[in-house]
Structure 1
């Protein structure tokens, strides 16, 4: 993702984040910024440092608020290194990643993986069951099918989709906790952790900040974000959600404290066939784009959970809000197109957010 679904707002409601389109397109893994090391208004001793890298297919920023900038820098760099390590283990784009090895040989023999990869796979299996199969990391063959046909400027045939669906399903993924190993039950199956690994990486970066003595900060990785403690002024963080039909505008803001926020949607990532855009999120039971809802945002204690549940909500489409309400311990926002009003949206939210959300787009309608 080259631009942000979520952004941080200051007290005046203005964005403190830049769009990073050019950097995200070609900066490799280098640091791309050092922002605002000055003092915060609420605490004359608190100083703010933000560093970033292009990681996991998006622009990642980590902000640390601490009186000592050397401690802030060390904590941020350690957090970025941890995120980079997660990416090396779990990406499908590296031949030497653990998931790459699983996809190559786990259909013929069990593959032992490290504790981190096994933890993410176990959580993915749990959320897959919780979501009724809406979240499914065995969707990799379908993703490959759509990418392959899109390169040929055509849609996959119904026959190809049907054949590929036979390679998708949690029943074909076996996890052995005793040996910490993974087995795929059918040749041609594959795993894609794109809907959950970034959330896990955000969580380990947050843990690193705290371990290194930073108790106020944030990790912002595209559509996945986690705030640590209070903001630099000692208050609650204000998070802005981008408008899914007008990416230069914010739709709403929400107050968040010591929690994770993840947004899933198709407005920055899609495939194009014959000039038409198709959402990149695929329904694991139909093999077609899950694009009934425009976006789904989940607020949870951990980013790994928020990340996967936001993806699952998008797959549930028209029933996304009903799904979010069934899951315990989370809050959520779902944005749908407003029927018979092109360019306008309907916003649904869980009751716990009613007094924490401010609509910034006056043309949007709030359900209920």
Structure 2
């Protein structure tokens, strides 16, 4: 669903009393890059192990492609019966539904039931019919998810409905691990789950972490570097996976309400305190488009965004001056 259009800049100079260790692993169906700054190598490696264990625990709760998770049980019982879930899973689902509400369905965790009628591998020769597009989203709709706080149950009203946390799960895991490391006294690090990135603290040389932003029209060139201070950053993009019919570009990110692909934007980068929230915003703004997306973000001043159109034009929310961070 996402293409990562940001690159993390890790640059250290000189000697330091701290060490930086990094490990890359495959978790939650994607790539996690875990960076820990600690007093010695052993401590750093042990804490990377703890991060991996926490991500694995979350994956075993919310994955919709592992058959033995609580979310898979919820999906199997769609249209049949409510399923009791852990409070953590219930709260995550609550937050996802809230996100669906504030975006008028541009974000929807029941997108997992969408028929994959759009192909972005070069095999499509014509657009799907309006009837097929409408049918593809008939099982999608957060209004049909019934939550019972008293019993901690989730019920999907329609047979064949599914929910999935592919859009929020990695961000949630990154945030959880950051908070866990801070609670353990680890003062700096990065948890990057397939581009859902939570950072805290500073590099061993005392400088902030920095994220490089690229314009997909000139994707080999970083045009700005933004410092990160206990900040999350997420980019949603569509510069590689798209189709063109009748001169119009259709991205691989699908509008859950209409079933049609997003148009107009090729990249949205969102920065803010939570990777989970930043992920929801970046995906939603891709669907909503520039004007509605910027109007939504205006209500959440803790989050900043950089939007790039299909034509390569750059826009940003008023609370970030992109010119301040542009490279010469």
Normalised by the length of structure 1, the TM-score is 0.79
What does residue 359 of structure 1 align with?
326
Total equivalences in the alignment: 324
Given the superposition, is the C-alpha separation of residues 148 and 111 from structure 1 closer, same or farther in structure 2, using an over 3 Å criterion?
farther
What does residue 32 of structure 1 align with?
none
CA deviations on 1:171-213 (whole Å, 9 max, x unpaired) are 1111111111111111221112211111101111212322333
Q: Are the counterparts in 2 of residues 71 and 213 from structure 1 also a CA contact under 8 Å?
A: no
Given the superposition, is the C-alpha separation of residues 49 and 174 from structure 1 closer, same or farther in structure 2, using an over 3 Å criterion?
same
Q: Are the counterparts in 2 of residues 149 and 156 from structure 1 also a CA contact under 8 Å?
A: no
How many angstroms apart in 2 are the aligned matches of 1:240 and 1:98?
A: 37
What does residue 281 of structure 2 align with?
309
**Of residues 47, 55, 75 in structure 2, which corresponds to 1:75?**
47
After superposition, residues 310-325 of structure 1 pair within 5 angstroms as 310-319=282-291, 320-325=293-298
Given the superposition, is the C-alpha separation of residues 151 and 6 from structure 1 closer, same or farther in structure 2, using an over 3 Å criterion?
closer
Given the superposition, is the C-alpha separation of residues 356 and 192 from structure 1 closer, same or farther in structure 2, using an over 3 Å criterion?
farther
Given the superposition, is the C-alpha separation of residues 289 and 147 from structure 1 closer, same or farther in structure 2, using an over 3 Å criterion?
closer
1:56 aligns with 2:28: yes
How many angstroms apart in 2 are the aligned matches of 1:336 and 1:277?
A: 11
Q: Are the counterparts in 2 of residues 217 and 232 from structure 1 also a CA contact under 8 Å?
A: no
CA deviations on 1:132-162 (whole Å, 9 max, x unpaired) are 22111111222x3336898985754321221
Q: Are the counterparts in 1 of residues 107 and 283 from structure 2 also a CA contact under 8 Å?
A: yes
How many angstroms apart in 1 are the aligned matches of 2:118 and 2:184?
A: 41
1:334 aligns with 2:307: yes
What does residue 92 of structure 2 align with?
120
Q: Are the counterparts in 2 of residues 239 and 254 from structure 1 also a CA contact under 8 Å?
A: yes
What does residue 5 of structure 1 align with?
5
Q: Are the counterparts in 2 of residues 255 and 356 from structure 1 also a CA contact under 8 Å?
A: no
What does residue 254 of structure 2 align with?
282
CA deviations on 1:239-298 (whole Å, 9 max, x unpaired) are 11233234433242212200111111123556899xx99533110121011132111111
1:84 aligns with 2:51: no
Gaps of 5+ in 1: 12-39, 339-344, 363-368
Give the alignment's Cα RMSD to 1 decimal.
2.8
Q: Are the counterparts in 2 of residues 42 and 234 from structure 1 also a CA contact under 8 Å?
A: no
Q: Are the counterparts in 1 of residues 2 and 237 from structure 2 also a CA contact under 8 Å?
A: no
Normalised by the length of structure 2, the TM-score is 0.88
**Of residues 346, 352, 362 in structure 1, which corresponds to 2:313?**
346
CA shift at 1:169, angstroms?
Answer: 1.6
Given the superposition, is the C-alpha separation of residues 312 and 76 from structure 1 closer, same or farther in structure 2, using an over 3 Å criterion?
same
CA shift at 1:354, angstroms?
Answer: 0.9
After superposition, residues 241-260 of structure 1 pair within 5 angstroms as 241-260=213-232
CA shift at 1:318, angstroms?
Answer: 2.9
Gaps of 5+ in 2: none
* Greater relative contact order (CA < 8 Å, ≥ 6 in sequence): 2
What does residue 137 of structure 1 align with?
109
How many angstroms apart in 2 are the aligned matches of 1:92 and 1:195?
A: 12
Q: Are the counterparts in 2 of residues 266 and 291 from structure 1 also a CA contact under 8 Å?
A: no
What does residue 71 of structure 2 align with?
99
Q: Are the counterparts in 2 of residues 203 and 226 from structure 1 also a CA contact under 8 Å?
A: yes
